[in-house]
């Protein structure tokens, strides 16, 4: 009598919850306009008031892909056109740390650059992954956006990221002077001081009509600061940080994902 081979957890092929894999132009931050492959991982513990990927916050019910399936898709996209990097984004990619480690390592084995987009809030998970990242796009999450301060975690994370990181802060009409003061002070304690990208929040374009159509959603419209206040944040941050840029989200303007 024969029996099926026993497959242990460790023998099973590594797999992850992946919301999407596609080629596009990076629409945010310092690498805006660079052609990248996006691998969007599902799952995030946060609920930022301006989140533009609400469908990716839960892992439950999202598709599962083996590592090999993800790599095959990356290779297929790379044969069509050349990409500056593979952006691993979310959700929060660090919520799948084993899969993320294997994915970043495999992307580098393919000869491609790795670009990690993260909320920069789990330094204990990031410690061993830092050497696998060529670029870290680290969001500083302000208490007005996320509902609580995360300064200590974010500072430790950015120290681990070192010169791989640039920092992005999303500015809204609710951003306060005090939290910006704390964020800028945090950045000035780092060596090197990272480049800071200030990104005015993008209003959800069709929220009003979706609400009028009776769509069940708890989302509310979050607006950017008034123009004078936006420029004022830049002027003020630039007094203490060598490189500060004001860059809105570009992909909604281009009409690409
Ligand atoms: S950390 Fe990113 S994915 Fe998570 S809620 Fe905030 S904006 Fe959305």
Q: Is the CB of 90 under 6 A from ligand 1?
A: yes
Write out the H or E segment, with its range, that includes residue 144.
helix 143-146
Sheet holding 35-41, edge to edge: 64-66, 15-25, 35-41, 85-89, 114-118, 135-139, 165-171, 196-200, 244-246
Tokens (6 digits) for 31: 């690498």
Q: Could you give the CA distance from residue 115 to residue 100 in angstroms, rounded to a whole number?
A: 12
- Length of the chain counted residue by residue: 257
* CA 145 – ligand 1 centroid, Å: 10
In 3D space, the residue among 16, 11, 74 whose CA is nearest the CA of residue 42 turns out to be 16
* pLDDT tens per residue, range 37-93: 999 999 999 999 899 888 889 988 888 999 999 999 999 999 999 999 999 999 999
Going from N- to C-terminal start, the domains of the chain cover 15-254
Q: Is the CB of 53 under 6 A from ligand 1?
A: yes
The C-alpha angle with vertex 219 and arms to 213 and 220, in degrees rounded to 5, equals: 95
Q: Is the CB of 29 under 6 A from ligand 1?
A: no
* CA 170 – ligand 1 centroid, Å: 11
In 3D space, the residue among 23, 162, 17, 159 whose CA is nearest the CA of residue 87 turns out to be 23
pLDDT at 52: 85
* Residue nearest (by alpha carbon) to ligand 1 atom 7: 51
Q: Is the CB of 47 under 6 A from ligand 1?
A: yes
Mutate to test the pocket of ligand 1, among 29, 41, 51 (most ligand atoms within 8 A of CB): 51
pLDDT at 211: 61
Q: Looking at domain 15-254, does it have CATH number 3.20.20.70?
A: yes
pLDDT at 217: 58
C-alpha count within 13 angstroms, C-beta hemisphere, residue 50: 22
**Close Cβ partners of 228 (under 8 Å, ≥ 6 residues apart):** none
**How many angstroms separate the Cα of 97 from the Cα of each of 10, 122, 206, 234?**
15, 10, 35, 35
For residues 146 and 48, is the Cβ–Cβ distance under 8 A? Answer: yes
Q: What is the pLDDT along the chain (257 residues), one digit of tens a residue?
A: 333 433 344 556 699 999 999 999 999 999 999 999 999 999 999 999 899 888 889 988 888 999 999 999 999 999 999 999 999 999 999 999 999 999 999 999 999 999 999 999 999 999 999 999 999 999 999 999 999 999 999 999 999 999 999 999 999 999 999 999 999 999 999 999 999 999 999 987 766 666 666 655 556 789 999 999 999 999 999 999 999 999 999 999 999 88
The C-alpha angle with vertex 252 and arms to 246 and 257, in degrees rounded to 5, equals: 120
Mutate to test the pocket of ligand 1, among 40, 45, 46 (most ligand atoms within 8 A of CB): 46
The number of the ligand 1 atom at minimal distance from the alpha carbon of 90 is 3
- Which of helix, strand or coil describes residue 233? helix
Q: Could you give the CA distance from residue 249 to residue 60 in angstroms, rounded to a whole number?
A: 28
Q: Could you give the CA distance from residue 220 to residue 251 in angstroms, rounded to a whole number?
A: 21
Dihedral sign for Cα 38, 220, 49, 29, please: positive
Largest CA distance in the chain: 79
The number of the ligand 1 atom at minimal distance from the alpha carbon of 146 is 6
pLDDT at 2: 37
Neighbours of 151 (CB within 10 A): 16
């Amino acid at each position: 009598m024969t029996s099926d081979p026993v497959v242990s957890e460790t023998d099973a092929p590594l797999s992850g919850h992946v919301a999407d894999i596609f080629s596009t132009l990076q629409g945010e931050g310092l690498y805006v306009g660079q052609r990248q492959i996006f691998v969007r991982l599902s799952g995030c513990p946060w609920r930022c008031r301006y989140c533009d990927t609400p469908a990716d916050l839960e892992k439950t019910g999202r598709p599962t892909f083996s590592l090999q399936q993800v790599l095959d898709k990356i290779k297929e996209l790379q044969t069509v056109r050349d990409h500056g990097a593979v952006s691993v984004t979310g959700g929060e990619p660090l919520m799948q740390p084993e899969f993320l480690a294997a994915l970043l390592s495999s992307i580098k084995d393919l000869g491609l650059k790795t670009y990690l987009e993260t909320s920069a809030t789990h330094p204990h998970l990031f410690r061993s992954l830092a050497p696998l990242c060529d670029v870290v796009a680290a969001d500083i999450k302000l208490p007005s956006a996320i509902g609580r301060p995360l300064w200590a975690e974010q500072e430790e994370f950015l120290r681990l990221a070192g010169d791989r990181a640039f920092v992005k802060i999303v500015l809204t009409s609710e951003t306060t002077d005090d939290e910006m003061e704390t964020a800028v002070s945090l950045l000035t304690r780092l060596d090197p001081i990272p480049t800071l990208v200030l990104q005015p929040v993008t209003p959800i374009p069709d929220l009003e009509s979706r609400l009028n159509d009776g769509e069940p959603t708890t989302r509310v419209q979050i607006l950017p600061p008034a123009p004078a206040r936006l420029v004022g944040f830049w002027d003020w941050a630039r007094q203490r940080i060598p490189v500060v840029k004001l860059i809105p989200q570009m992909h909604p303007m281009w009409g690409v994902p």
